[in-house]
Structure 1
Amino acid sequence: MEVFPMKKVLLLTLFFVCILLNGCSQQTSNESASDEVYVMDINNWQPSTHHYAYNAWEPWKKMVEEKTNGRVKVNIYHGSALGKSSSVYQDIKGGLYDVSLLVTNYFYDTPFFPYTIGSLPFALQGPVEANKVLSKFEDRFADKGLDNVILMPPTSTDAYDLFSTTPIHTMEDLQNKKMRMSGKGENAFIQSLGGTPVSITSEGIYEGLEKGMIDTAFYTPIGGEAVRYYEPAPYITQMSVLVNPLIPVMNKNFYDQLPPDLQKLFTEELNPALSEMFTKSYVTELAASNEQLEKAVEKRGEYIKLSTEEDIKYREAGKGAWELWIEDANKRGFDGDEMVEAFFEILREEDYPLPFEN
């Protein structure tokens, strides 16, 4: 009569032991997951002396490692050590590295095409404006085919001026000049100016100017000062002609392997913080860069300001690039006119100037 109660006691004991062991196993598993260190490789295609490094990548590395309590270790590779700016999209998709900064104009013929509207002549004036306008624009037009990478909020460079080996005071001075273009959107504009487009990445501009492969290059004052484009091209014409939209991007597999709490941290805090660091870097560096450039060319070149009449001429010349962009948008299945009108409407909502009256 006492056998059955003893069996029950043994069964109950085994049952509770199993529960206890399972709980310990889950706790160990959770502790193991929280203790795992994830290594993030960043490709900075600019040199370590560039403002990208000391105003964005290095502070973000510190923020990531602190906010994750060391669960994410960040390695930064400067100077295109892991890949050039022109291959960021392919490299990020392929997992060559985990995070970098993508110049949308270099990827005109990819799903990043909608963002290239921001690089059209006089479309935007700087990174603060780009963040506000492109964030609204992407919600309507830039969500197709980009689910294979993690996109951070958009920003942009500061507005481009013209670095030249000879003085450029009027549009006539650009006739037959070999002019560097960074993407298809600049091609029509350069041709409208009377120049000859030459495709060279950011990394090749200095050598191109120095060796005569190009005569001019549109580039940001901040970036141009940092990498000394004024040495081979000491004639700088202030134009604020365009910006290049920028998007920090992350490898999706890297993001997907992270536990939910770290994914949330990157999505809600760390990724937006990186975009903001790039935006602030351009804003804070601009005034100082203009002053330094003016001093740098004082005895060897010239710092040129366009007249109002010349500015109007450049804006008129820029219309051809917009018309070409609309045609390209239509070929890609978009309504190009609708996209431009929506872009202009966002500019009006944000009280920003239009590139021209449409």
Structure 2
Amino acid sequence: MKIKPIFLSIILLSFVVLLAACGKSSSESSGGDEVYEFDFNIQPPAVHNYAKTVKNWAEYVEKETDGRIKINIYPSAALGPYESVYEDIAGGVYDIGYANPSVQDDTMLFPLSIGELPFSLSDPFDKRKIIEKFNQRFLSDKYDDNVTFLSFTGSDPYHIVSKTPIKSLTDLKGKKINGIGDEKVQLVNLWGGSPVSLSQADLYEALERGTVDSVIYPAIGSIGFSFYEVAPYLTRVSIDSQSWVNLINTESLNRLPADLKKRFLEEFGPLLADMPAEMYVTEQENALKKFESKDGQIIELEESELEKFRAPAKEVWENWVNKANSKGYPGDEMMNYYLELLEAEGIESPYK
């Protein structure tokens, strides 16, 4: 049977329309505006408070841009480990992430590790205010061309989370203790402990099996990773707060039209620091209570005992200056400026 030309034309036209519909890019919205998708790699699991906060941030960004920006969040370090965040963002492995300067002190982020010197900055808002000023003075023009700084933030304070009660510095002698970054490793050594370096993903199992006896970790993070199930004792020492730099791949950022790029740098990037900081301030007491709900204990130390934990920190600060100088940075100038920033905020330091 022959198909009449008019019917053939209708069939072909319908086929073309169908192809056009199927081939419509997923990066276009119903209004015809392009949708810009970004992959955001985070370390904690989806149940962690930080992951929930980042999800709220992503939803806010999508709503405020009428769906023109979509953030795809990958929890549990699905796209890459904490130890290679800076390189992964620079290389375009994913678009957005956060790097700990102390963990990645072999990159240009090293100067910002000053924010993890023990017993100075344990409040995330203080940390952001001071370190962003420090960043502006010493690093603003030093970032890799493939990486753009968004904001700096911190967590609730680091404490000692342990399988057995830690009620004095003596209780840490010989204990296997995990600490993130060089500054924590030094501190553990000075306390008489035995430092162990493990990734976040391995800490629960290490505590469960006794590969480590204690971890230096924030309360909220400890709840997020369920450390309290296998290490139910938390000794409050407020060493400092976990630091991270929120970064975005520059090429990915530059895909945005001028209006969205401006909002990302001036509004959404800073908000990625503000929202977690607010969560860490408001939720830390609830996190501490979680330890007690699992037959654990929150251990409060007398000031005289706390001072024994703090005293060795001065050596860590001095070592940081020497390390900065050895890397070719103006270590003494950096430290003097940092101390000025602390003093301006009424924060004391053990480094005199």
Give yes or no for TM over 0.5: yes
Q: Which residue pairs with 1:280 in the alignment?
A: 278
1:295 deviates by 2.7
Q: Which residue pairs with 2:174 in the alignment?
A: 176
1:132 deviates by 0.9
Q: Which residue pairs with 1:71 in the alignment?
A: 68
Q: 2:308 aligns with which of 313, 316, 321?
A: 313
Provide closer, same or farther for how the CA distance between residues 83 and 317 of structure 1 changes in structure 2, counting only shifts above 3 A: same
Whether the aligned pair in 2 keeps the contact of 1:155 and 1:247 (CA below 8 Å) is yes
Whether the aligned pair in 1 keeps the contact of 2:233 and 2:299 (CA below 8 Å) is yes
1:303 deviates by 2.0
1:213 deviates by 1.6
Identity %: 38
Q: 1:112 aligns with which of 109, 113, 126?
A: 109
Q: Which residue pairs with 2:14 in the alignment?
A: none
User: Which is worse superposed, 141-150 or 188-197?
Assistant: 141-150
1:46-195 aligned within 5 A = 46-55=44-53, 57-143=54-140, 144-195=142-193
Code of the aligned partner of 1:356: P
Q: Which residue pairs with 1:355 in the alignment?
A: 349
Q: Which residue pairs with 2:317 in the alignment?
A: 322
1:129 deviates by 0.8
1:357 deviates by 5.3
Whether the aligned pair in 1 keeps the contact of 2:42 and 2:51 (CA below 8 Å) is yes
**Which structure's residues are more often helix, by fraction?**
1
Q: Normalising by structure 1, what TM-score?
A: 0.86
Q: Which residue pairs with 1:222 in the alignment?
A: 220
User: Which is worse superposed, 118-127 or 146-155?
Assistant: 146-155
**Runs of 4+ displaced beyond 3 Å:** none
1:53 deviates by 1.8
Provide closer, same or farther for how the CA distance between residues 145 and 273 of structure 1 changes in structure 2, counting only shifts above 3 A: closer
1:335 deviates by 2.4
Q: Which residue pairs with 1:263 in the alignment?
A: 261
1:226 deviates by 2.3
Whether the aligned pair in 2 keeps the contact of 1:178 and 1:195 (CA below 8 Å) is yes
C-alpha distance in 2 between matches for 1:323 and 1:208: 31
C-alpha distance in 2 between matches for 1:187 and 1:35: 50
C-alpha distance in 1 between matches for 2:269 and 2:139: 18
C-alpha distance in 2 between matches for 1:243 and 1:318: 15
Whether the aligned pair in 1 keeps the contact of 2:321 and 2:332 (CA below 8 Å) is yes
List per-residue Cα deviations over 1:4-39 (Å, max 9, x = no partner): xxxxxxxxxxxxxxxxxxxxxxxxxxx9x9722221
C-alpha distance in 2 between matches for 1:230 and 1:221: 9
Unpaired runs of at least 5, structure 1: 1-30
Q: Which residue pairs with 1:244 in the alignment?
A: 242
Aligned residue for 2:66, secondary structure, equals coil
1:250 deviates by 0.8
Q: Normalising by structure 2, what TM-score?
A: 0.87
List per-residue Cα deviations over 1:248-300 (Å, max 9, x = no partner): 11111100121111111111111111111111111121121122223323xxx
